[in-house]
Structure 1
Amino acid sequence: MCVRHIYGNVKGRHGKKTELKKLIWWLAWSYNEAEYKERLDRVFNYDSEVFEDVMKTNPTSWVRAFYKIGNFCEDVENNSTESFNSSIVQAREKPLVPMLETIARLAMVRIAARDVKATEHKHICTPYVIEYLQEEHNKAANLEKRSCSCMKWDITGIPCEHGYGVILQKKLEAQDFVCHWFRTSTWRKTYEEGIIPIRGARFWPSSSAPSVHPAPDPDQPGRKKKNAKEKRKKGVNESPVKKKAKTLKRIMHCGICGEANHNSRFHKKGQKDGTSQIKASQGPAAQEI
């Protein structure tokens, strides 16, 4: 089960999903079931259709978390077969027997070259293991730098879980790798001098400098309220009001000439005619007004 081909098949059906490649490879690289479940949940939350297609491939057959213990192989792709196929390109187009003879010669040359390389290698483990262990050594060497690739240690000054694991493995004291700002000795220096008590303000020495007064209140946002004296002035043609029997009644004014007792509708017909018509229509109460 080659993850490279599984990803290619899923991508063919969901090509526009930008996070697809990262999610599938992270899922394949899970070393335990806890990581597997967490990363599988990320696939589901990203896209339910992608999740269904991934589950059809039976991830337990290509995720590291379900590898058989003792095989000591963590490969999740079929690169060894692809490498073999690329090396026999010149032989595949030949008839069967010449093809096998060509592959045999290629294999003999490869085996002889690898034999020389293996004979000259002086370490206990293979070059792959040496390189792998070197990376692990560099991680362990971060104890001296008090740094970790996760950056948590670098930012907080306190060992992260990765650094702490190495510290425990080496049987060292974790507190020795904490930033000096969090040491008890530094904490104590903060309060060494303290503050000397002084007497109250009435005993303070006087000065020739000007007295300090509170600052004026700043202007508040919004529209300022006007005082009673600053009320809005009424227009020339605006209707005045008066009180009668504790009620307010409006006097009609003309919008053209501004005169009372008629409006602009009756202005063209004459003020007197309009006045008489309005009084007649409104009754004696309007005449009193």
Structure 2
Amino acid sequence: MYLVIYAVVEVENGDNQRWFLGLLKDDLHRHNTQHWTFILDKQNGLTNAIESLFENSEHRTCVRHLYNNFSLSHKDLTLKNCLRDVVRATTVSQWLEHMQRMLDLDPAAYGWLEGKPASHWSKSHFRKWNQCDMLLNNLCESFNSTIVTAREKPTLTMLEDIRVYLIRRIVGRRESCDRWIAAIGPRILKILEKNGIACSHVIAFVVSRGLNMMEFVDDIYKKVAYMRTYTPSISPITGPSAWPTPCLNPLNPPVYTKRAGKPKKNRRKEPNEVASSMRS
């Protein structure tokens, strides 16, 4: 994960999400977003904002949220495994085969899934020119869990904690990449060695011709691209004592609206997540 932009808002709603995404689009100076991919959860406001601002981008549904909705009426473990095979299918023929298996198992479950655009949740229908096959938004969940403690602090202190975290992360990633012994990262290399990237017949043909499989790996997975991403660094900034003092009225914080109930620190878990954690 490489964090590009973040913001502080009072509440997560459609207006703030649209404002945030508008800043993202303007800052990156990208008007053609055909090669952008957004992985969404169940927030309608976020979906509407992306559809209006990034008309040509690819929209995906986080499979964890998809399964949470699916499991409300289809709880069978066999159906869960079948759903996993459907979303992981990399070709349309594989997708059709697993969908037929789901139809044989439970026509109602098949009808529920068939009503969702496969281009949003199955690898077999993702855009071929986007080098991203992610099915989950776990990267966002991981970042949110990292800043739980920082979010309890005042705004300036919170932002400083996040900035320092990002500085250390960028440096750590750069140093890790510098230790790579191959032209591609260890995770991609491991997948390649297990014949997970290309068909085994393709790999056998390439090797029989005396070619190097590394040449057929996309450039975005190679060390050069990784180092190009993590070479820039976040520069240190001076503390509040060195900030200029403009001849203006002091900036007051916005009016705080206390919400009912105890403030929540952690993400609200879905029913099936709670059940699995209790069993473990």
TM-score normalised by L of structure 1: 0.46
Higher relative contact order (CA 8 A, sep 6+): 2
Which of the two has higher C-alpha Rg? 1
